[in-house]
Amino acid sequence: MADKSVILVIDDNMLICTIVKDILKTKYENIITIQDANKSVAVAKEILPDLILLDVVLISTDGFEICRRLKSSPVTESIPVMFVTSESERKIISRCFEVGAVDYIRKPFISAELMARVAVHLESRKHKLQLQSMIREMAEVLRHDELTKLYTRRIFMQELQSYFEIQHKFVLVIADIDNFKRINDTYGHVIGDAILTLVAKALKDNCRPIDIAARWGGEEFIMLFPSLNEDSTRHILECMRKSINEICLEHKGEMISVTTTFGFTNVDFDVEMEKSIAMADKALYYGKKHGKNRCIMYDKSFEFLP
């Protein structure tokens, strides 16, 4: 089966392009040649090849300049460049590496050598891309709480800090599962974990794409709703609350229901970030003290509650 890697050959000599393509096409099916060096960088940005074969000597410019332009763009900087040259002077070879190339091959080249060098660099690029993908996946996993799949407290605080820096209007919400300790003590942590997962899903399902939801700790969750007024906030929180009320787990013939209390506040940027969190928490505390299973907006009078 032919390798699907994309190889771009930049050489203003059509004969060289044909020779290179004829050699490589026995193994690689996507070989693109271009004779106009002035268009080569734009073509590379469009097709994003896995490897570029670039002649040192070009009519309109030189390969070193093309390589510098490729390496100066974030779009193409990671694409490996291998120079093709008839030059043998040490200073010319040194310049190939100075401008960012990974290798060079001299003309007239041996077919087997060209194939071998191309294979090595394509394989190396595949491994690098796989590693980068794994790193991104690991980073994304670390951003989320293992159980609930919501953002972690650390990531939420980073997002919250950025909102305070740009002073973009938002609502801060803290939610707490009612009587969760009793649920854990009565039914065990397996049931408790199942409830945490289901509540987190209900929160996430009712969030907008721009909202941020995180596990704050234990059975508490924290959310950030950008650009919402009180009525819109209440609507979203009521949808969440009702969705959670519909959760029902069976354990040894007994049906376990779940409720959650929400406290929220409109963020005032004259108030420090930690104080804003405390205000949402005071609203939650008020809701807990006055019946639970409700959504409470912060009021200044809460500051004087025992």
67 C-beta neighbours (distance < 10 Å), count? 23
89 C-beta neighbours (distance < 10 Å), count? 9
Residue in 123, 140, 159, 219 annotated catalytic: 219
- CB contact at 8 A, 2 and 29: yes
The one-letter code for the residue type at 15 is: L
Q: Which residues contact 283 (CB under 8 A, 6 or more apart)?
A: 174, 263, 264, 265, 296, 297, 298, 299, 302
Distance of CA 41 to the CA centre of its chain: 27
Respond yes or no: is residue 219 known to be catalytic.
yes
Buried b (16+ CB within 10 A) or exposed e, 10-38: bbbeeebbebbbebbeeebebbbbbbebe
Catalytically annotated residues:
219
